[in-house]
Structure 1
Amino acid sequence: MPHPTQLDTPRGPARVDTDLPAGPPASLLVLGHGAGGAVDAPDLLALRDAACGAGMVVARVTQPYRVAGRRAPAPAGQLDEAWTTVLAVLRRRHPKVPLLVGGRSSGARVACRTARAVGAAGVVALAFPLHPPGRPERSRAGELTTGLPTLVVNGDRDPFGMPVAGDPVEVVVRRGERHDLRRDPAGVADAVLTWLRTHGWAR
């Protein structure tokens, strides 16, 4: 069962749903949601279940604008500020394990932009929105260049584009999937878990 808590940030209260593994934790995985979505997206729930079963603490963070009932996302700087505030609290709660950050779509972008600042060991980016639909010239590829091990899982039919792999960024292409990655959430979770285990962050 998740343990929901509310944490104050400079941008209003955020909500954190934390799921604990059965035994001692191997690592902490913190996940953010998409711009208009929530932390109960199918891919996030599948990843939560797989990661908890592999010994990870999983915390899913709902940004303050969503807690307040708004669908339109806050500006990037405000998202990053709220996220880093929450991460500081979570690191104090789970100080002795590696930290992995990630999320889907907008949440993946936030995780990438702040990964170095929060002391993450790696990044999991689900449905990374490489560019706005139909606007490939507005690439966000630079956000993936954190210098940290990064896994991108995108569908080959995603209108937001497909990032290109390059050390240390790995890209897993899910055939037939669009931006929501809803066709096979368990397959998405399995791909992430394989990568996490390769790096020793999951059992």
Structure 2
Amino acid sequence: LLLPARPEALMAAQPEWSVMLGGQYEPYDAPTASAIEEAFQRGDEEVQATIDGKLYVIVLKPPMKQQLSSDPTRQRAIQRQPAPANEAAASATAVASPSTEAPAPASAAVAEAPAPAASTEAPAPKRQRESPPPFAVLIFAPGAGGQTAKAMRALQDSALEREGVAVFRCDDHPPGPNEARWIKSSAGCAKNVAHVLAVARRAAAAHPTLPLLLGGASFGNRVVCEVLRSHRAELPSRACNALLLCGFPLNPPDKAEGADQKRPAHLLALPAGVRVRLLQGGKDEFNGPRGILALNELVAQMAATAEVVEVPGGQHTLPAAKGLKQLNWTQAQLNTFVVDAMVEFARLAAAAGGA
């Protein structure tokens, strides 16, 4: 399937929209292009389209080129390289079975699905890829508001679990009816710690053979830092010696850098042997006056093995972002970037276990 390099071009009729069918390029129209773009935005894996009077199932695979690099401060930046102007914004693979995984070239044949007997018949139901058995469980602590952000929840329930990471959110397992989710005056207070430990035990009971990984967003990051630092022995035996922190609240917005020393202290107090990935938006409102540079400098001082993965344009409540058009990104691509970074770290943590 050949598409324009920029997704926004899908919304205006272009003669280069075509699909290879039996060695010939057949054109398709603007409504079909719009349907394909909407499928990308929803994160769908396939879309049905009628081309040249026949019904086709088009399997969508958005490209995501990533480059990993390390420096002496043990930080890791994952950067997406913009696609060349002549590179397709998406590729399609022939539909052989729901489990087809091989990447497709920029232009590929699209498998023909049987056309309905009459145009009045309802289209065939979309085939969903089955999720693999999970290889790890993420215990996720939400921010100060006590609720995981809607967009993050959607990523966890769809893409993350499809990649083999089961998720237990603390906000889905409150300590009791009508009880506050967090005591915000002290991240490491007994009640907050007990809440995370209780959810970890539930996760361990539900998945008795899988490694457990602590993670969180915003204030929840501060809580899980304290749990792993001070209450490691109370966690289930399969808990990893690792933390996945999404949007660490290093500096309160509109405050001078270092205005609240308790925040960096959570990271600096983590002992050697703990592995930390900080998934941090480049435009996070809690980065402080100097932006993400302050967090990079802090990571270099940590005893724990830590790395920063900067999310281009990302705001504090990931995967929310701004300025993506200027960066030549789409929200769907950013979502994929975030999921890839989370899954990669979950695999690393699971392989290391409690070591």
TM-score band w.r.t. shorter chain:
0.7 to 0.9
Residues 125-154 of structure 1, C-alpha deviations (whole Å, 9 max, x = no match) = 000111322142223223222542111111
Q: Does 1:126 align with 2:268?
A: no
Distance 1:195-1:83 versus aligned 2 partners, 3 A rule: closer
Other-structure match for 1:178: 315
Deviation at residue 57 of structure 1 after TM alignment: 1.9
Distance 1:160 1:67 in 2: 31
Matches within 5 A, 1:24-103: 24-62=133-171, 64=174, 68=178, 73-75=183-185, 76=187, 77=189, 78-103=191-216
**C-alpha deviation, 1:26, in angstroms:** 1.1
CA distance in 2, matches of 1:132, 1:67: 31
1:39/1:45 contact within 8 Å kept: no
Distance 1:185 1:23, change over 3 A: closer
Corresponding residue for 2:120?
A: none
**Alignment partner of 1:152 is 2:278:** yes
Aligned residues: 181
**Corresponding residue to 1:142 among 224, 248, 265:** 265
Which whole-Å deviations, capped at 9, do the CAs of 1:13-44 have from their partners, x for residues lacking one? Answer: xxxxxxxx844431111111111151243134
Higher percent of residues as strand: 1
TM-score when scaled to structure 2?
0.45
Asked whether the 8 Å contact 1:44–1:104 carries over to 2, the reply is no
- Unaligned ranges ≥5, structure 2: 1-129, 322-333
Q: Secondary structure at the match of 2:205?
A: helix
Q: Distance in 1 between matches of 2:182 and 2:213?
A: 26
Could you tell me how far 1:169 is from its partner in structure 2?
0.9
Deviation, structure 1 residue 186: 3.5
**Is contact 1:43–1:186 with CA below 8 Å preserved after alignment?**
no
**Higher RCO, 1 vs 2 (CA within 8 Å, ≥6 residues apart):** 1
Contact 1:36/1:73 (8 A) holds in 2:
no
| Distance in 1, Cα, partners of 2:131 & 2:152 | 22
Distance in 2, Cα, partners of 1:70 & 1:28: 25
Are residues 187 and 86 of structure 1, via their aligned partners in 2, closer, same or farther at CA, if it must alter by over 3 Å?
Answer: same
Amino acid at match of 1:68: N
Change (3 A) 1:169 1:48: farther
Out of 220, 240, 264, the position equivalent to 1:107 is 220
**Match for residue 194 of structure 1?**
344
Question: Is the alpha carbon distance of 1:64 and 1:58 closer, same or farther for their aligned partners in structure 2, counting shifts above 3 Å?
Answer: closer
Q: Which amino acid aligns with 2:212?
A: L
* Cα deviations by residue, 1:69-117 (Å, 9 ceiling, x for unpaired): 8688544312222211222232233222111010111112112211234
Gaps of 5+ in 1: 1-20
TM-score by length of 1: 0.74
Percent identity at matched positions? 28
